[in-house]
Amino acid sequence: MKYISTRDYKRHSLVTSAEAIKKGIAPDGGLFMPCEIPTININDIEMLTALPYHERASFILSKFLDDYDAKGLLEDCKKAYSEDRFPGGAAPVVKLDDGRYTLELWHGPTCAFKDMALQIMPRLLSRALSMTGETKRAHILVATSGDTGKAALEGYKDVPGIDITVFYPVDGVSPMQKLQMTTQTGDNVNVCAVNGNFDDAQSGVKRIFADRDAIALANSKGSFFSSANSINWGRLAPQIVYYVSAYCDLVKRGDIRRGDYINFCVPTGNFGNILAGFIAKKMGLPVNRLICASNSNCVLTEFLRCGVYDRNREFFKTMSPSMDILISSNLERLLYIASGAEETRGYMEKLAKDGRYKVSEETFRTITKEFSGYFADESETSEYIAKTFKENDYLIDTHTAVAVCCLDKYRNETGDKTPAVVVSTASPYKFARDVAAALGSAPESDEPAALLSHLSSITGTSAPRPLSETVGRPVRFSRVVDPADMISAVFPD
């Protein structure tokens, strides 16, 4: 199967999946997409229902990555989604009440859904390097506002042929996020704080990617720079798996019958997670509607309501920070599926120039046949944390609360009572301060250990081990650099 850029209407840039994963972004600035979407049928679903998660994963992935050795893929999936890394299962489905479920994607090493992709993607990249005859080491550079950096560190640590450096804004991450990164283990990892905010760290990384001296320096060390960005196909493909897996689990437990339709409601930032759900539907999974849930940064809600994407708006810092995004990069892949490469290229040019575009009537109709958009503001988010805990005895984080609220809004507005799965993207303990405050008991201390034990004592639940074990680990990385000196942290000697 070949991959093509979402902007390549002349079909110039066909590459293999290994090349797409190694390159990350297409030369014309577009994102790689498979030329056609492979399918699964109802017999495949029956077969997958009997299998453990890692075998479901290797079955789905091998349909997209058909240039990879199938045995190798199975091995990678087995390691990535082992009980050791995902205690209690990679993507368990939990019943809230009749017709409402959550898909918990936060049982991995960093307690957020990015682990689902970042535990396997480094292995896919490592294989892509040897499949394409690459002799240099890849040096991954990441600028993070919190979650992605830690998930990337856990995924890339000790992966052969790859090194990783993560930069975070010195005062821009939570105390727990900082501790998670500065105590990171592994021989090929490096973490450094940047004097400045997230944008300073991000621009610094982009500068290094484009800086000839930095590229030459990397070359002299036998390396080349690469990114772990969420637009890489190697991060998207593994996310398709858990949509199929959730469906199989519902069938397996007798909550639905094989062939029944279900809805998914997804807390959305960069549009990567929900797009994977759409691709699962395109493969043949019986999905009725995809509900795109946003926080107060509701650029996608507006897009799905009126067909206009407009990033020229106030930016809000919310209690669901991983959804505080005004440019949802993966939306480009949906535009490509709905309207083709030529139209997509036009929209992306308008976005770069004016910060806004309006899609054609036909494209708007195609998209809104599949997707609905809702948003929850800060007080609704808190309200749903409290309400879900009280009514369902179930503790959710701030991102998941946005989605539970949006699902209610969708059901009230449309009357659609199709069984619905809310995709749950983070452990409540990752956002313990805001979750406790929503339950009416704001913690006094901002210190990580105190936050965990406070939430535990007011809810009678316990913190996931990866978080409780972080507290008390030795700090390995304490360096702080100015944005102009970031390269000195990449190659310290």
Sign of torsion over alpha carbons 333, 339, 341, 344: negative
Q: Shortest gap between Cβ of 230 and ligand PLP (angstroms)?
A: 6
Nearest to 75 by CA among 11, 10, 120: 120
Cα(195)–Cα(216) distance, integer angstroms: 25
Q: What is the DSSP letter of 426?
A: B
Whichever of 118 and 159 has its CB closer to ligand PLP, that residue is 118
391 to 87, 273, 417, 426: CA distances (angstroms): 27, 27, 19, 20
- 388 near ligand PLP, judged by CB under 6 A: no
- 277 near ligand PLP, judged by CB under 6 A: no
Cα(233)–Cα(278) distance, integer angstroms: 15
Active-site entry in 22, 23, 114, 150: 114
- 268 near ligand PLP, judged by CB under 6 A: yes
Cβ atoms of 351 and 331 within 8 Å: the answer is: no
How many CB atoms sit inside 10 A of residue 66's CB?
Answer: 14
By CB under 6 A, how many residues form the interface with ligand PLP?
17
Question: CA Rg, the chain, in Å?
Answer: 21
- 333 near ligand PLP, judged by CB under 6 A: no
21 to 35, 145, 329, 343: CA distances (angstroms): 15, 23, 17, 25
Q: Shortest gap between Cβ of 488 and ligand PLP (angstroms)?
A: 30
Residues 188-217, interacting with ligand PLP (CB under 6 A):
none
**Helix or strand or coil: residue 478?**
coil
Whichever of 273 and 388 has its CB closer to ligand PLP, that residue is 273
Q: Which residue has the tokens 């079955």?
A: 59
- 425 near ligand PLP, judged by CB under 6 A: yes
- 269 near ligand PLP, judged by CB under 6 A: yes
Q: What are phi and psi of 116, to 5 degrees?
A: -55, -40
Which of 273, 301, 427, 459 contacts ligand PLP by CB under 6 A?
Answer: 273
Whichever of 17 and 322 has its CB closer to ligand PLP, that residue is 322
Whichever of 176 and 323 has its CB closer to ligand PLP, that residue is 323
Residues 110-169, interacting with ligand PLP (CB under 6 A):
112-114, 147
Q: Shortest gap between Cβ of 271 and ligand PLP (angstroms)?
A: 5
Q: What is the DSSP letter of 97?
A: E
Q: Shortest gap between Cβ of 20 and ligand PLP (angstroms)?
A: 18
| Region for residue 160 given its phi and psi (left: phi exceeds 0; alpha: psi -120 to 50; beta: otherwise) | beta
Contacting range for ligand PLP; rule: CB under 6 A; set: 83-91, 163-171, 263-271, 346-354: 263-271
- 56 near ligand PLP, judged by CB under 6 A: no
Contacting range for ligand PLP; rule: CB under 6 A; set: 268-276, 294-302, 307-315, 348-356: 268-276
Nearest to 356 by CA among 325, 410, 394, 312: 312
Cβ atoms of 191 and 182 within 8 Å: the answer is: yes
Contacting range for ligand PLP; rule: CB under 6 A; set: 31-39, 52-60, 215-223, 261-269: 261-269
Catalytic residue check, 114? yes
Where on the chain is the footprint of ligand PLP (CB under 6 A)?
Answer: 112-114, 147, 230, 267-273, 322-323, 399, 425-426
Return the active site residues: 114
